[in-house]
Amino acid sequence: MFLYHARWVLPISRAPIENGTVGVEGERIAYVGPRANAPSGTDRDLRDAILLPGLVNAHTHLELTVIRGILENLEFPDWIAALQGAKRAVMTPAMLLDSARMGIAEGIRAGITTYADTCDSGVVLRALREAGVRGIMYQEVFGPSPGDAELSLRELRDKVEVHREVATALQVVGVSPHAPYTVSGALFARVAAYARDANLPMAIHVAESEAEKQFVVDASGPFAERLRARGIRVERVARSPIALLRDLGVLENRPLLIHCVRADQDDVRTISATGCSVAHCPVSNANLGHGIAPVVELLAGGVRVGLGSDSMASNNRMHLLEEARVAALMQRARTGRHDALSAVQALELATIGGARALGLDARIGTLEEGKDADLTAFPIDEDSGAAGGDPVAAAIFALGGSKARFVSVAGQPLVEDGELVTKYADLRLRVQSAADRLRAWKLDTSRSS
Ligand SMILES: [Zn+2]
């Protein structure tokens, strides 16, 4: 047995343990408790560190990592259009794969061991496997024209069949009908029925922007105009984006609902009653000017909520402790209550909350005997700026952005002594050249528009 000793062990399922130890036997956790009572084994001293369950990122677009910094200061519909343009004009499958590898390397260094990724190209499953991290790749599907629904579904099924060959116990496949303004009602209903039959998890971007709400509620606004310009009929469909998904029968799948910024009381009740989970992305939502999701209300309704960084094109960073800090601060600012979201609750969102939202809480999300050994440890020495008094407050309010000292997935170390076990020297150069090409494309398009 390997014995990971740390100044603080935060099991999440119970109170922090000072001078604690997590014992790992193969893939599993075999002991959690005081160092003084630990069974015998091989010592791995993490010293002045906070040892946590591996962090769970409930929403990423890893293939877009390289687009970081390219799409700043755009109105949301223009941002979406520019993103699609960049993908079409510049991004080859090889670049997208490298981009995903780079994103995972960054995430591992930030202590993220699980990734729930919505992916258009389908490269992420391979990148997750190579890196040895845990994840769900939801294959995206688009298709705003109802006439194309059957064809889009067939293409989706073909892609999922191929992915399922590559999937493992750690890296699984799901589906993601992208969003109400890119997926017709006919396609939503077909994909939901397929996912139920094939037992595939599902994730949907929903209730994110004002433009999406306008599109759903009265068939107006920039998304409606763009579709009409393409000859696609757009009609008033529902009282809210969440109500639209309910009316289409999509919520019966209990999908992971990404964003839910524009969710009113009725919507929160619907999400709660249908047993859907939510990926909350506070930094991306703030950055794009969408607002603040009603996380306090969702949690009060018993909804399973996790935290997502969203893509590097809308966040620029992937650090779940920072995401948790922003989540806590924003709920406090929004509600005017200092205790709206405590540090303990924020840390739960980044760990067991995300695990529950993804249906993985039997395996990960807390440090408990029998669970998989997905671990992460952050240094709290004088260099990290974290105070040692309250380790949960330190984790949430002082460790955002810091690099993990140790990370493992199912007992397999991915970071040791603050260094990635697998090095990525050539990858860095390839990603740099991809970023240069994106910058050149952006200069070209801004000159010609
Ligand atoms: Zn997203």
Least confident of 14-28, 398-412, 428-442: 428-442
Distances (CA, A) of 65 to 55, 91, 103, 423, 440: 19, 11, 5, 18, 17
Least confident of 136-145, 186-195, 379-388: 379-388
Ligand 1 centroid, distance to 311 Cα (angstroms): 6
pLDDT in tens, 238-248: 999 999 999 99
Q: CA 64, CA 169: separation in Å to the nearest integer?
A: 25
Q: CA 163, CA 172: separation in Å to the nearest integer?
A: 9
Mean pLDDT on 421-428:
86
Mean pLDDT on 19-41:
98
Cα radius of gyration (the chain): 21
Alpha helices in 336-402 (DSSP H): 343-348, 354-357, 391-397
388, pLDDT greater than 70: no
Contact predicate 160/200, CB 8 Å: yes
pLDDT in tens, 258-278: 999 999 999 999 999 999 999
Tokens of 117: 């990724």
Ligand 1 centroid, distance to 264 Cα (angstroms): 21
Name the nearest CA neighbour of 127 among 355, 422, 437.
422
Q: CA 52, CA 374: separation in Å to the nearest integer?
A: 9
Ligand 1 centroid, distance to 168 Cα (angstroms): 24
Q: Within 10 A of 350 (CB to CB), how many other CB atoms are there? A: 31
Ligand 1 centroid, distance to 312 Cα (angstroms): 10
How many angstroms separate the first and last alpha carbons of the chain? Answer: 62
**Measured on CA atoms in the order 50, 372, 271, 187, is the torsion positive or negative?**
positive
Ligand 1 centroid, distance to 98 Cα (angstroms): 19
Q: What is the pLDDT of residue 387?
A: 63
440, pLDDT greater than 90: no
pLDDT in tens, 75-133: 878 878 888 888 888 889 999 999 999 999 999 999 999 999 999 999 999 999 999 99
Banded model confidence at residue 328, pLDDT cuts 50, 70, 90: very high
449, pLDDT greater than 80: no
383, pLDDT greater than 90: no
Ligand 1 centroid, distance to 279 Cα (angstroms): 10
Query: Which position has the higher pLDDT, 219 or 235?
Result: 219
Length of the chain measured in residues: 449
Ligand 1 centroid, distance to 208 Cα (angstroms): 9
Ligand 1 centroid, distance to 136 Cα (angstroms): 14
Q: Which residue has the tokens 């992916």?
A: 119
Mean pLDDT on 381-404:
84
Ligand 1 centroid, distance to 383 Cα (angstroms): 34
- E-strand ranges in 54-186 read 55-60, 112-119, 134-141, 171-177
pTM beyond 0.85: the answer is yes
Helix (H, G, I), strand (E, B) or coil at 110: coil
Ligand 1 centroid, distance to 198 Cα (angstroms): 24
Ligand 1 centroid, distance to 116 Cα (angstroms): 10
Q: Within 10 A of 302 (CB to CB), how many other CB atoms are there? A: 10
Banded model confidence at residue 199, pLDDT cuts 50, 70, 90: very high
Tokens of 372: 């998989």
Q: What H or E segment, with its residue span, contains residue 378?
A: strand 375-379
| Cα-based angle 408, 411, 413 (whole degrees, multiple of 5) | 40
Ligand 1 centroid, distance to 60 Cα (angstroms): 6
Q: What is the pLDDT of residue 434?
A: 86
3-state helix, strand, coil in the chain (%, to 5): 45, 20, 35
Rounded to the nearest integer, the mean pLDDT of the chain is: 94
Ligand 1 centroid, distance to 287 Cα (angstroms): 13
Q: What is the pLDDT of residue 357?
A: 98
Q: CA 352, CA 199: separation in Å to the nearest integer?
A: 23
Mean pLDDT on 314-339:
95
Q: b vs e for 369-382, b when ≥16 Cβ sit within 10 Å of the residue's Cβ?
A: eebbbbbbbbbbee
Q: What is the pLDDT of residue 72?
A: 74
Query: Which position has the higher pLDDT, 142 or 382?
Result: 142
Ligand 1 centroid, distance to 40 Cα (angstroms): 45
Ligand 1 centroid, distance to 39 Cα (angstroms): 44
